[in-house]
Amino acid sequence: MTRRLLAVGAAVLVLAGCGGAAPAETDPSPARTLTVFAAASLTDVFTELETRFEADNPGVDVVLNYGASSDLAQQLVNGGPADVFAAASASTMATVTDAGLVEGTPVVFARNRLQIVTAPGNPEGIAGFADLARPDLQVVVCAPQVPCGAAVERIETATGITLTPVSEEPDVRSTLGRVTTGNADAGLVYVTDVGSVGDAVEGVDFPEAEQAVTDYPIGVLATAPQPELARAFADLVSGADGQAVLAGAGFVGAP
């Protein structure tokens, strides 16, 4: 009798152990990576939008790859994996669209223009574009194949004023850095880049900049590993929330 009771008790314990264990919960939102290639001048804005997008999409990790638009476009043409491309010029976006790598038609989401950047207080007394041709000044610009460098060339052509820079930098943030570190007297960067470093520099407007306004298009890659997330990110950038962040950084809204 005692043996029988013990056996029954043991069986109950085994069944209780089997039935009492809660099944392991599965993560309803598995981790996903969204890769965004973006022009260097979008660094501050897209970093903020990254935080917003990740908050609205739990489990999503937005990986931002910043650089000169021309370099990023070439990376994509060479097979670089990405979901979204945001360029600082229509011509660099065309490099990617002409290769059949963009889904649909890219959307222009912002505009920008050049500004002269100097040390705080503008110690060299630079008043306009023509002053940048002074032989006593060390001036830096972006390389001509980069959108900000191409904009400089358009202004040179329109004004007939040719600059002799001491350096042609690979992207707009490198150009800005030469001035902020005191390695150049002045440079030509976007208005938004000047604003990104606060009192570390001073910006000088010049009317000729209106002759080389830069459009920023964004497109979803046809081979995007995360196409739905890519479209959602592009919608965020071109939508009301994204436009508010862009305007706060000094960008002009899409035409």
Phi and psi angles of residue 168, each rounded to the nearest 5 degrees, phi first: -115, 110
190 labeled part of a ligand binding site: yes
The 10 Å CB-count burial string (b at 16+, else e) for 70-102 is bbbbebbeeebebbbbbbbbeebbebbbeeebb
> Cα(160)–Cα(12) distance, rounded to whole angstroms?
95
- 91: annotated binding-site residue? no
- Read off the tokens for 158: 């329109």
User: From the CA atom positions of the chain, what is the Rg in Å?
Assistant: 27
CA–CA separation, 83 and 73 (whole Å): 13
Does residue 172 have a known ligand-binding role?
Answer: yes
Which residue positions form the known binding site? 41, 69, 172, 190
Which residue positions form the known binding site for molybdate? 41, 69, 172, 190
